[in-house]
Amino acid sequence: MTETALQQASAATDTPRAYAALETHFTELAHLTRILGLLSWDRAVMMPKTGAQARGAQMAALTKIRHRKLTDPALGTLLDDATAEEDRLTDWQRGNLREIRRLYTRSTAVPDDLAEALTKTANACETVWETAKPDSDFAAVAPLLSELLNLTRQSAAAIAETCGMAEPYDAMLDTYDKGARYQDIAPLFSALEDWLPDAVNTAIAQQQESLPLGDPPPVEQQMALGQLLLDKMGYHGRFDTSSHPFSNGRGGDVRITTRFTGGPFTLECVLTVLHEAGHGLYDMQLPEEHNTQPVGGVFDLSMAVHESQAMVWERQIGQSLNFWKFLAAPARKIFGIDAQNPAFTPENLYRQVNTVEKSFIRVEADEMTYPLHILLRTGLEKAMIDGDLSVKDLPAAWNDGMKDKFGIVPPDDRRGCLQDVHWYGGDFGYFPSYLLGAMNAAQIFQAMRRALPEVDTLIENGEFVPLREWLRDNIHARGCLEMPREVIRHATGDYLQLDNFKTHLSKRYLDA
């Protein structure tokens, strides 16, 4: 970076010039990151399948440019100079410097050609997965997955060595939940796995059977109910469909998707919208004044925290009886259901969304069995990263794990190891964030209840703005000012505690 750039970056401000130059550099990186995000959204929502090869090349090219900017040798010097200026920085600037240093250290550990190959292979693998999954054709995608796993292991090993991590899998965990280490989450997961199977069996044995809801209403009506919820929540971004629901964007350009499945109506249309809107609201309410900087969350917010925001809306709010006391009447009206229909009473809808059942599909799993799905995937992906499980053995290992944890075996790979997109898109290490997010959500909602004693009444009346604002003030607006554990501690008064999650599950499913 030239002397002129340094002077321009700090001109007319009191900001130390090295730090100001870093902000300028990362503003450009933020724009590239968002362009990549939009290309990814378009690929999943709008792009014709025939454009996959070209889109993969486009994203690989942009990723290469982005990686080069992230690994610019001049950044190392600027980081040293900015560190020397640290006593003149604000708290937000110091937090930003910490995040820049983390990004730079991780990125410089991975050579340009490896970063480009990872992106290109991930795009190719995900494209093949999209057709292999419905055909239950694991053999079709296995070669690309093997190549992708090999590249991922190289990247993980390089990052772990550079960052002084205990094992390569830590590098994958740290990608999605900053500061997370396997030695820290393993005891939590192990303790939960010891408690959960018997708890699941008890919940199944004592639950009240719900009345079936019949055939799904037309998609247009399900979308209309979803839009009603989004309006109540204050979400004002795009709302589309895709094969796998997701959220994208930030600030004034946030986009979420949902999906619709055949078979009996299960209210998935409601819970999925709540989940993705929870993500979307987080991205909408990040600190706007830092929206082009790492401290503002533009690069890598903790997914364990991000997922907690989705789970607060889906699990803590959307699966409460108070929520269905609010939504039952609007749902009947939009779906054209008679008010006397016993299946569409708040109580039956509540039982519907809280039915505990051992099943094959993670995204359709109930709240009690969902953690078992994550425990299975965490064990498998760690074994793959460690080199203890090969891709060719993945289907059998998956089925063995399902039999061990659930007592059932998928009849095909579509409902087994092909069901999730994550590994086929290169997202190894992502799955633990889902379970950590669910645990965080229980702890966060307990803190919200202490702060808003009227929360049950607000939910029953469909008054979601105070809930959204509490989340904004206590979590969203803090961006990446602190590390994820500190964000949770700030909002709840404590680090993540498993007992909070067990208490929530027990009250909803075991104490009835």
| pLDDT tens sequence across 372-409 | 999 999 999 999 999 999 999 999 999 999 999 999 99
Contact 43, 10 (CB under 8 A): no
| pLDDT tens sequence across 83-107 | 999 999 999 999 999 999 999 999 8
At 248, which helix (H) or strand (E)? strand 247-250
Closest by CA position to 242, among listed 116, 363, 135, 403: 363
| pLDDT tens sequence across 45-95 | 999 989 988 998 999 899 889 988 999 999 999 999 999 999 999 999 999
Query: What pLDDT score was predicted for residue 10?
Result: 45
Kindly tell me if the per-residue pLDDT of 125 is higher than 50: yes
Closest by CA position to 368, among listed 195, 233, 494, 174: 195
Q: What is d(CA 291, CA 278) in angstroms, rounded to the nearest whole number?
A: 19
DSSP designation for 257? E
DSSP 391-413: GGGHHHHHHHHHHHHHS---SSG
Q: What is d(CA 61, CA 71) in angstroms, rounded to the nearest whole number?
A: 15
Q: What is d(CA 396, CA 88) in angstroms, rounded to the nearest whole number?
A: 57
At 241, which helix (H) or strand (E)? strand 238-241
Contact 185, 381 (CB under 8 A): no
Contact 69, 28 (CB under 8 A): yes
Residue 276: band (very low, low, confident or very high) from pLDDT cuts 50, 70, 90: very high
Report the predicted TM-score, pTM, of the whole model to 2 decimal places.
Answer: 0.90
**CA 194 to chain CA centroid, nearest Å:** 25
Kindly tell me if the per-residue pLDDT of 7 is higher than 70: no
Domains of the chain plus CATH, in order, are 3-179 (no CATH), 183-510 (1.10.1370.30)
Average pLDDT rounded to a whole number, residues 434-442: 97
Q: What is d(CA 277, CA 284) in angstroms, rounded to the nearest whole number?
A: 10
Q: What is d(CA 156, CA 175) in angstroms, rounded to the nearest whole number?
A: 10
* Annotation marks residue 161 as catalytic: no
The amino acid occupying position 311 is: M
CA distances from 304 to 163, 324, 377, 484 (A): 21, 27, 16, 8
Query: What pLDDT score was predicted for residue 13?
Result: 52
Higher pLDDT, 4 or 344: 344
Q: What is d(CA 480, CA 286) in angstroms, rounded to the nearest whole number?
A: 9
| Annotated catalytic residue, options 23, 99, 126, 276 | 276
